[in-house]
Homo-oligomer: A and B are copies of this chain.
Amino acid sequence: MPARAFSFEVQHRSANSSARCSTFTTPHGELALPTFMPVGTLGTVKGVTIDQVRESGAQVVLGNTYHLALRPGSETVRNLGGLHQFMGWSGPILTDSGGYQIFSLANRTRITEEGAVFQSHIDGRTIELTPERSIAIQEDLGSDIVMVLDHVVPLPSQKREVAIAMERSLRWAARCREVARRDDQALFGIVQGGLDAGLREQSAKGLVSIDFTGYAIGGLSVGETQEEMVDTLACTVAHLPQSRPRYLMGVGRPEDILLAISQGVDMFDCVLPTRSGRHGAAFTAGGVVRVKNEHHRQEKLPLDAECPCIACKHSLGYLRHLFVSGEMLGPILLSIHNLTYYQRLMHGAREAIRADRYQDFCKACFEGWQIASEDQNT
């Protein structure tokens, strides 16, 4: 482990898949993996108080370097005590590097070997983000887990473009590794290479030779099919050490997460639970419920009688009323419910892996969601 305050231990490997249960120890506490990280883009998980994030069962939250660097600025966060104190979260925090948002949000991005020059999506200001600057910002933020700056390309792209970006990402990763020296921050490398098995292998091996505390799989969840995602994971994870945590960035739907766990992935993040919640879509064991649907008008039962969240203390009829009336409490309650659903799903996955019944667990989940089991690939 390059960062001394961290340790990683695999407790159990699944008998029939690559799924595993592990513990990742950070300066702000232990994480039981596999885990799902709610996204707190601007120092807040949208619509949810930090106590409610904790009550959902979340162990670690994610902050976005790009967003926080633009507003309120990483120096302001540092002056206000760092990201933990700023948002009131005493557990571990992971920050991304800004690479993905430069790809998805910024205007007129220009990538050179030095770094990325882009215009803010808020006020058009020109900003430069180099590997060294990304690390410096993440040091200001004070997150526990720090990501290297990577060059993300859209899919599909020409293999040559994907290869150039992957190779540049490797050089940027080495530069990040060079400057990230704090013992209380773990640096994760990010495997790139699109859907090409050879490029993924080259990227993974290159990163492992640099030696990171953990390895992320980037450049997925950008429009590929589920089968492509699973195949790419398989040929990437094969080249990552068992002794380090693995993080699939930006994924995803509950079914994607379960499949990725089968491939040996340990960590996930996605805006889906909160974004879907704000738009009236609730994740349940029976599939996605559209809360605004007219036929829920007089429904006395909650979304899920077994869910301990505060949304499920109310009738579905009440939740529908909140959404139909445009009341803020609708998005709030459904965000909390979805975050809780994701955490319960991950808890169930960990229990199932430990008991060597992970495949049965996945089968039962897919059946509940009414997703055909032949699509499972578990």
Q: Measuring CB to CB, which residues of chain A are less than 8 angstroms from any residue of chain B?
A: 42-44, 46-51, 71-72, 76, 79-81, 85-88, 297-298, 300, 310, 313-315, 317-318, 320-322, 324-325, 327-329, 331-333
| Inter-subunit contact B88/A49 (CB<8 Å) | no
Distance to closest chain B CB from A196 (angstroms): 38
| Inter-subunit contact B49/A321 (CB<8 Å) | no
| Inter-subunit contact B81/A321 (CB<8 Å) | no
| Inter-subunit contact A327/B79 (CB<8 Å) | no
Other than the known A71-B325, A86-B318, A88-B318, what 6 A-B pairs have Cβ atoms closer than 8 Å?
A42-B322, A44-B329, A49-B332, A51-B310, A76-B321, A80-B318
Q: Which of B320, B321, B329 contacts A46 (CB 8 A)?
A: B329
| Inter-subunit contact A329/B71 (CB<8 Å) | no
Q: Which of B297, B322, B329, B331 contacts A48 (CB 8 A)?
A: B329
- In the assembly, what is the distance between CA of A132 and CA of B328, in Å? 33
| Inter-subunit contact B298/A80 (CB<8 Å) | yes
Distance to closest chain B CB from A334 (angstroms): 12
| Inter-subunit contact B42/A80 (CB<8 Å) | no
- In the assembly, what is the distance between CA of A49 and CA of B44, in Å? 17
Taking A71-B325, A297-B72 as contacts, is the C-beta distance between A87 and B49 under 8 angstroms?
no
Distance to closest chain B CB from A292 (angstroms): 12
Taking A49-B333, A87-B318, A318-B80 as contacts, is the C-beta distance between A42 and B328 under 8 angstroms?
no
- In the assembly, what is the distance between CA of A179 and CA of B297, in Å? 30
Q: Which of B43, B47, B321, B325 contacts A332 (CB 8 A)?
A: B47
- In the assembly, what is the distance between CA of A49 and CA of B327, in Å? 11
B residues in contact with A86, CB < 8 Å: 314-315, 317-318, 321
| Inter-subunit contact B80/A327 (CB<8 Å) | no
Taking A79-B298, A80-B315 as contacts, is the C-beta distance between A328 and B332 under 8 angstroms?
yes
